[in-house]
Structure 1
């Protein structure tokens, strides 16, 4: 009979980088530990997320509205289209008689026959802003920029006509579109991205500064005497 036969086999303990295994069982609860500084597969720097319809409901609905009015302007009766656009214009005459209707409906048209420029403008400004702050805040920024810049520009027009620099026909000039709101969304998005750009690794403190490492040596008379002894 072999001397090792009949004896209990020893239980070996294996310790690895992700925890210890004792007797074929993991002792760390089955969770793998990531090494410091490692990046998880599929993650993006800064927590950025790709564009998705569920995260951009306001931007998609607004683009669909602009597409619908653009198709209506191409297919409907030209006289009806001109009448509706004139009613929606944010000129001085309409702002004096029905300001709310003019401010709301003027943002439902595109300034021109093409819808594609507005598609790209909303995709690169309103959509990323909505993913960062939410649909309600993005809509608020768009509306505030549209209303504020429209009132400011028409105030300049009214002043120019009152001073005699422009003719009275400028008070009824067609003014539709939402370019002011798109520019306001771009400014808000740039303001949100500015703090993230300020935390770039190029602006980190130098390695010899006191805040760069906790192992920075400080000079003292005792240390100098120790090194010169």
Structure 2
């Protein structure tokens, strides 16, 4: 159990925290308190203006519903990504994708608000959940994961969710834009990590192959 926990510390920690928050929401908090937590953790324009870091972290572990589905999909994406890149680089991949998805989608909303295309209510919309993390993990797991079964499972999870995740994209709805950005970020960041990994491996091999001067 020890080596498994160390190897998969990131997904186990993420899933454990998300499940714990789910249990608190479902079993401890009354409805008014649940709504207050969602409002506090939402990565909307109002919260990002006063507490961007805390809001982005909290929003990944709070969801409005379907927590069981999100938990399963998280496992399908996060374990293969961690197996492929390691804990630290997997954190970088999903965290960067979550941040980019949030900032770009909310940035577009702000531009549209200032242009008079949206009402002021966009500033306080509920926007929580780990879906940006899952989008990035599923795409990276399919593109770069080890093993055909794991990659196909990630693809199946992505295909099952993508109609919901991208619903409203043509209308530039915040969630749909964020999901698309997170998917693209997961693919691009995963590719960059893979390129850096191959370069680190290639340099020692090249040095070992070069003849020693004076030999």
TM-score interval, smaller chain: 0.5 to 0.7
Query: Normalising to structure 2: TM-score of the pair?
Result: 0.61
Query: What is the alpha-carbon root mean square deviation over aligned residues?
Result: 1.9
Structure with bigger RCO (C-alpha 8 Å, 6+ apart): 2
Deviation at 1:114, TM superposition (A): 2.5
Asked if the contact 1:87–1:102 (Cα under 8 Å) also holds between the matched residues in 2, the reply is: yes
More helix by share: 2
Q: Give the gaps of 5 or more residues in structure 2.
A: 149-215
In the alignment, structure 1 segments of 5+ residues that lack a partner are: 1-51, 197-229
2:13 alignment partner, one of 61, 84, 88: 61
Structure 2: distance between partners of 1:119 and 1:157: 28
Aligned-partner Cα distance in 2 for 1:86–1:92: 12
Partner SS, residue 90 of structure 1: coil
- The 5 Å alignment of 1:90-105 reads 90-105=43-58
Q: TM-score, normalised by structure 1?
A: 0.58
Larger Rg: 1
Matched, 1:139 2:91: yes
Pairwise CA distance, 1:54: 5.1
The 2-side partners of 1:192 and 1:113 are apart by 30
Partner deviation per Cα, 1:157-184 (whole Å, 9 max, x = no partner): 1112112221110111011112111111
- Please give the secondary structure, in 1, of the residue aligned with 2:93: helix
Q: Is the 8 A contact 1:70 1:113 kept in 2?
A: no
| Superposition deviation, residue 143 in structure 1 | 0.7
